[in-house]
Amino acid sequence: MLNKYKSGDVLSISVADEKNATAQVVEKLRGNVLLAVFSDLLDADDIGDAELLELDDPIFLVETMDLRIKDGTWPILGNRKVSERITIPEYKVWVEPPGEYRTQDIHGNVGRSISSEQASGMKLQKSFSPAAVEAALRGFHGLGPWRQAFDELVV
């Protein structure tokens, strides 16, 4: 049976033997999820009450598939309100015609026209595999290589 999850759920992601990072579901999407991933590594036995965890400053804000949540690989520790300091990103998208950049929200809705200068400071919407999230956490903590592609996950 697959686990159900919702916005605000706090997750445990295994990084190394007996060391876990925490993440929080910021936004539930169709088959994907926007996760805030945090830097602290905790002993697997020390992860307890989700209310006591520091969840204001993520290192990664990443869209990924929800399979690891649903199958229990990333167990749900509890649920709490997502910090107001974590903002859902706005992306850029090129629209033809008329041949211009526009904003795009996390759900793929295209919005207002923006200048090339504004677009240069924005990311394209992209999803990363759960394995990439785990590898980026290992790389961040020096437990594996840091790949250039992981730069796109960094807040």
Report pTM: 0.92
Task: Give me the count of residues in the chain.
Answer: 155
Q: pLDDT tens for residues 86-98? A: 999 999 999 998 8
| E strands present in 45-126 | 60-65, 76-79, 91-95, 100-104, 110-114
Share of the chain above pLDDT 90, in %: 84
Strand pairing class (32-37; 42-43): unpaired
Does residue 23 sit in helix, strand or coil?
strand
pLDDT at site 23: 97
pLDDT score of 64 more than 90: yes
Q: Which residues lie below 8 Å from residue 52, measured CB to CB, with a gap of 6+?
A: none
